Structure 1
Amino acid sequence: MRRLVGRATGTCVLKRHVDALGAGTFDLLVVGGGVYGAWTAYDAALRGLRVAIVEQGDWASGTSSTSSKLIHGGLRYLEYHKFGLVRKALRERNRLRQLAPHRVQRLRFAIPLYGVGWRMRLKLRLGLILYDMIARAQRPLHGHESLSRQRMKQKYDFIKRDRLEGGFTYGDCQTDDARFTLELIDGALHAGTIAINHASVLRLTEDRGAIVGAVVEDRLEGTTIQIKAKFTALCAGAWNQTLLEAAVPGSTLKTRFSKGVHLVMPALPTSDAFLLLTGERGRVVFLIPWNGRTLLGTTDTPFEGDPRNARCLAADETYLLDHANAVLKDVQWTENDVIGRYTGLRTFMDKAGDPSSLAREWSLAKPYGGVVASVGGKYTSARVDAAKLVDHVCNELGRDPGPCPTAQRPFPWRPEGRYRSWQQRTLDQSLRLGLDEETALACQLRYGRRFEVLLRMIEKMPRLARRFVPETPMCIGELVFCSRYEMVANLQDLLRRRLPLTLIATLPEQRVRLAAAVAGKILRWSNERQIAEVRSICGEISGP
């Protein structure tokens, strides 16, 4: 199979080969470039299938970049006796930690207890014991600990003390969800997949009782392509039902949505995360350190209507701030402290129940010939779910599925050799080249072994080591690297997903102009295009 991956200065260039979409017939067309679509395309390509994946926006531009950024088992699902779901997620957490140490980092959680009484404390203790037991000795984390009131006050002196009864700590992991997905797309490309972002499926094509491909519009060039495929996998989350109903009226695929809102808040004086009990069964609120800020989330409310209209409402913001302020002692956050907001939609098979009571179980729907739909699931366990989907496709195509190729395969950007040795070596090199330590450590996690390419760029042009924005651990060289190598089409791609700058910082217009100039030089944007890109971030501006 022809390998449509460029090479430059020792690293892969993620390229859009749109013309290849119309060449021949694919074994599998994947619709949707979130984490489920990315795992599916990567797995299928590694098994020798001819694969194409298309995404109407950017990679991970939907729910896969609007999560809580956690790789975890889902402690709260034990309350609903979802032991199989938790077991699967914890096994994957352990696996991902081994396969991608640069992508999945340890994170300690604290659970402060306020006026809950001994019964709730005992219930939580038993749940944490079970959580540790399910994870077994393979877990890459320390087990839970019970903390007295005094120890909680000493360890977390910024939380309120009134009615504090003590608490617990336990271990889980976190990630950068957008870059996690991007790395899988790169792996799929390297395995031979044709991967195109900013390509909308106008309609699925149907012939003689089966879906046989799709008509796709390249939103960057305005061209339309007919894709032929023996099998199609819908991994488009909230869009699955709409796509299928347009092609097959009366489709049996019925889904529902739950809206999850997160706020980006100032940093707290701890590297630990917090799980806050809300008093509502099945609902918790997280405070999670991330890129020098705190993620506060999430809501879990029913949503109906056009997925594009899902927004953070005033009620969502108040709900989250109230729960945080009920615990924080030294600060009381208001809407003026909110740095950023983001909203995602979780998709479920349509059945009764409050969204919080519906565990993130995955379903493989088979609503029509030649097509399957991936519905629901958890970010953490997407790999194993995608493997089942590819097993099904192989069987339908009369191919031997064989063993799952992603189960033991290191992530595409995992550094070779001993990870800690690589960390120390690249950190020492970074400091010699003028990167500050916080930025260097963050770059190790963002780029994995590709960080060495960035360092070579900085060695040739030392000014690239400067921070783009003083308060964020991201350097100017990253704008160059991402624009050159990571399939960036516009400033939203660059400043929201390749780098989460618009989430964690209020960018001055002058900085956005600089980003447009950097990206524009590499992507050959005209002055008019650069102005338009700046407007997309900042709103209307005057002058070039």
Structure 2
Amino acid sequence: MTLQPLAISPESRRAALESMTEGELDVLVIGAGVVGAGAALDAATRGLRVGMVEAIDYAAGTSSRSSKLFHGGLRYLKQLNFSLVFEALRERKLMLNTIAPHLVRPVEFIFPLVTPAYDRAYAGAGIGFYDLLGAGRGVPHHLRHIGKRRTFDIFPGAKRGKIRGGVLFYEGQVDDARHTMMLARTAASYGALCASSARVTDYLREGDRVVGARIEDLETGEHVDVRAKHVVNAAGVWTDELQEILGEKGKMRVKASKGVHIVVPRDRIDSAVGLITETEKSLLFVIPCPWSEDFWIIGTTDTEWNLDLAHPAASSADLDYILAEVNVMLEKPLVRDDIVGVYAGLRPLLAGESDQTSKLSREHAVVSAAPGLTVIAGGKYTTYRVMAEDAIDAAVDGVRGVEPSRTASVPLVGADGFDDLWEARVRLANEHRLPVKTVAHLLRRYGSAISEIFELIAAEPELGNPLATSDDRYLGAEIRYAVTHEGALHLVDILARRTRVSIETADRGKSAAVEVADIVADTLGWDAAQRQREIENYCARVDAEIESQRQPDDRTADAARMGAPGIRESADAADVSA
């Protein structure tokens, strides 16, 4: 039987918080990033009564700011971490073939060779072994060594006199924020109670046992107590903060590593495939944008971050580093003015003996922080499902009658029927009087849930028009849908995560803020003053981020970014929804 998708809306959010206070949950998950949403789905598909709370928004942290890849991790081969690579390659296959074929797809990369003999032996052997490990695991088994002439055919923008050949292979790519959103919707469709803008301020305890959490509703200022047989802390880089609430030393420590990416127009790099090169510190990817053919995503950095966790800031030094590294490969170098968008995310790495975050483990750990409280941390986006399964296994350890994890065979909302719809995209375009390119874009974002978009357009035909301020990339229906079906509560939720307007328009979405606010104001119940506050807050956020990117280092960049607090942080007693 096909799963009936359940909408996550402002109304369902309020109902979920109310339902969480009625009786006792089996599991309460803290955090709605990819691991938290994965844990909620894992628990819900086992038949457990589950609640998930998130202080900001779905995928608001690390899970919307990754490299947009489902990959095994070439760098971990160098560390001889074969188990992590094999596990990630297995998960990549599941995403491509079973769980999210509408959201994840293969993308071809070239590893340009600079010193043919050494690079071909060193890089070729490593990639060859990586390709062999991944054989039959979701992407084409297509490793090829190519010479200089063929390399320049595929990568015409390669630097003359520098690039002397290449190695071709495949990875998997994804829009991480959309994937996490669909993961949360799937959890909700299996019965999980999901609420964003719901911050844990304390744990409920009976003796030394954790029996739930006190939750602050950041949209109303109200506090509620949610009781649960077990609590799972899946808060990523906020793990240590939530452990400190216990008033005792945590049993694991997480160190935040900042990863910065830039977005540039596709025509600035002449290549038919993605690019990957090794730097002194890590690997640098030039990735075809998974949601638009108009851009490249380039990154990443890997530096320790000890400042504000909610708003990691990219500095001028970060941008200079990325430009310098990518320009090693390019005949026509990129310059600052080529950058359309910038985003910075924090990886929650398990702290070890090394002070260099690039050497810390990406493997995950599950610990019992106290009776009734399990903490999951570390890992990487690609292995979120395994992390979620391990966390719920730990939470229900010793509980009779609980089924084992099912998520390896549970498709996300939009996956069922996607292949048939993709083949029928021309017919769908004709039926709904939309360009084929638009229907393809919608299918890659919503899969078979595209029918819900069509329903919105049928009810309000003007929603079938594209936004004038986003270069026609998004329909008005997608903006409305972000609220009615995907739980967006504020402009930043829509412009930075439900869409990617914030990193793919010249003004970072400032002009779109007005148009988007007009579409959702009535749906969200905003009066004129609230609508204006939302626009001003979003524009202040953009200005602060741009100013931070002019600063020379992390500390000055952080100070600049902190000049514009988030819309949820700026709430006060007089108007907590502002």
TM-score (normalizing by structure 2): 0.87
* Alignment deviations for residues 423-465 of structure 1 (CA, whole Å, 9 cap, x no partner): 1324422245343333321110111111122123334544433
* Residue 516 of structure 2 is aligned to residue 522 of structure 1: no
What residue is the counterpart of 2:476 in the other structure?
Answer: 476
| SS in structure 2 of the partner of residue 30 of structure 1 | strand
Which residue is 2:107 aligned to? Answer: 107
| Structure-2 residue corresponding to 1:219 | 218
CA distance in 2, matches of 1:230, 1:135: 40
Residue identity matched to 2:522: K
- Mapping for residues 88-487 of structure 1, pairs under 5 Å: 88-99=87-98, 100-114=100-114, 116-267=115-266, 268-278=269-279, 280=280, 283-290=282-289, 291=292, 292-308=294-310, 310-330=312-332, 332-353=333-354, 354-396=356-398, 398-416=399-417, 419-468=418-467, 469=469, 471=471, 473-487=473-487
CA distance in 2, matches of 1:271, 1:217: 49
Cα deviation per residue 1:180-217 (whole Å; 9 max; x = unaligned)? 11111111111111110011111123331122211110
Give me the whole-angstrom Cα distance separating, in 2, the residues matched to 1:62 and 1:13. 19
Change (3 A) 1:385 1:251: closer
Aligned residue-pair number: 526
Query: Aligned in 2, Cα 1:34/1:13: closer, same or farther, shift over 3 Å?
Result: closer
Partner residue of 2:550? none
Whether the 8 Å contact between 1:204 and 1:247 is mirrored in structure 2 is yes
Percent identity, aligned pairs only, is 30
Of 12-21 and 313-322, more deviation after overlay is shown by 12-21
Q: Give the 3-state SS of the residue equivalent to 1:307 in structure 2.
A: coil
Which has the larger displacement, 57-66 or 439-448?
439-448
Distance in 2 separating the partners of 1:324 and 1:240: 33
Partners of 1:309 and 1:496 lie apart in 2 by 13
Distance in 2 between residues matched to 1:427 and 1:444, nearest whole Å = 12
How far, CA to CA, are the matches of 1:157 and 1:308 in structure 2?
A: 40
Aligned to 1:4: none
CA distance in 2, matches of 1:269, 1:437: 25
Paired residue type of 1:482? A
**CA deviation after TM superposition for structure 1 residue 511, in Å:** 3.2
Once the two structures are TM-superposed, the CA of residue 150 in structure 1 deviates from its matched residue by 0.9
CA spacing shift, 1:215–1:479, aligned 2, 3 Å: same
Shift of 1:356: 1.6
Letter paired with 1:384: V
- In 2, the alpha carbon distance for the partners of 1:340 and 1:365 equals 38
Partner in structure 1 of residue 552 of structure 2 = none
CA contact (8 A) 2:362 2:380 kept: yes
Displacement of 1:19 in angstroms is 1.1
**Bigger shift: residues 529-538 or 84-93:** 529-538
Query: Helix, strand or coil for the counterpart of 1:348?
Result: strand
Q: Distance in 1 between matches of 2:153 and 2:336?
A: 29
Given that 1:53 and 1:195 are in contact with CA atoms closer than 8 Å, whether structure 2 keeps it comes out as yes
Alignment-derived partner of residue 3 in structure 1: none
How far off its partner does 1:472 sit?
A: 5.1
Deviations 1:479-529 (A, max 9, x none): 122222211101111111111111211356553212101011222211111
- Contact persistence 1:415–1:422 (CA under 8 A): no
User: How far is 1:271 from its partner?
Assistant: 4.9
Measured after TM superposition, the shift of residue 135 of structure 1 is 1.6
Q: Which whole-Å deviations, capped at 9, do the CAs of 1:66-96 have from their partners, x for residues lacking one?
A: 0001011111211111100000000000011
**Cα displacement (A) at 1:11:** 6.3
Distance 2:252 2:470 in 1: 49
Measure the CA separation in 2 of the matches of 1:277 and 1:368: 42
Work out the CA distance in 1 between the residues paired with 2:185 and 2:310: 27
Deviations 1:307-332 (A, max 9, x none): 235210111110001112222223x3
Distance in 1, matches of 2:285 and 2:541, equals 35
CA distance in 1: counterparts of 2:465 and 2:197, whole angstroms: 31
SS at match of 2:408: coil
The answer to whether the 8 Å contact 2:255/2:351 transfers is: yes
Letter in 2 for 1:110: I
Inter-partner Cα distance in structure 2 for 1:485 and 1:137:
35
- SS for the counterpart of 1:364 is strand
Q: Deviations over 1:384-424 (max 9, x none)?
A: 2211211121214x1344332111122222132xx433113
Distance 1:359 1:434, change over 3 A: farther
Query: Relative to structure 1, is the Cα distance of residues 171 and 540 closer, same or farther in structure 2, using a 3 angstrom cutoff?
Result: closer
C-alpha distance in 2, partners of 1:82/1:401?
32
Tell me whether 435-444 or 233-242 shows the greater mean CA deviation: 435-444
CA distance in 1, matches of 2:141, 2:272: 16
Secondary structure (helix, strand or coil) at the match of 1:164 reads coil
- Structure 1 420/412 Cα, relative in aligned 2: closer, same or farther at 3 Å? closer
- The answer (yes or no) to whether the contact 1:73–1:86 under 8 Å persists in 2 is yes
Q: Name the amino acid aligned to 2:214.
A: V
Superposed CA RMSD in Å reads 2.0
1:502 equivalent in structure 2:
502
Residues 425 and 105 of structure 1: CA distance in aligned 2, closer, same or farther (over 3 Å): same
| 8 Å contact from structure 1 (residues 184, 412) kept in 2 | yes
* CA pair 269-430 structure 1, distance change in 2 beyond 3 A: farther
Aligned in 2, Cα 1:275/1:510: closer, same or farther, shift over 3 Å?
closer
Give the 3 Å change call, closer, same or farther, for CA 117–356 of structure 1 in structure 2. farther
C-alpha change, 1:320 and 1:461, in structure 2 (3 Å) is same
Q: Is the 8 A contact 1:29 1:231 kept in 2?
A: yes
Residues 391 and 401, structure 1, Cα contact 8 Å, conserved in 2: no
- SS of equivalent residue, structure 1 residue 39: helix
> Structure 1 CA distance, aligned partners of 2:241 and 2:480?
38
**TM-score when normalising by structure 1:** 0.92
Are the counterparts in 2 of residues 26 and 51 from structure 1 also a CA contact under 8 Å? Answer: yes
Offset at residue 136 of structure 1 (A): 2.6
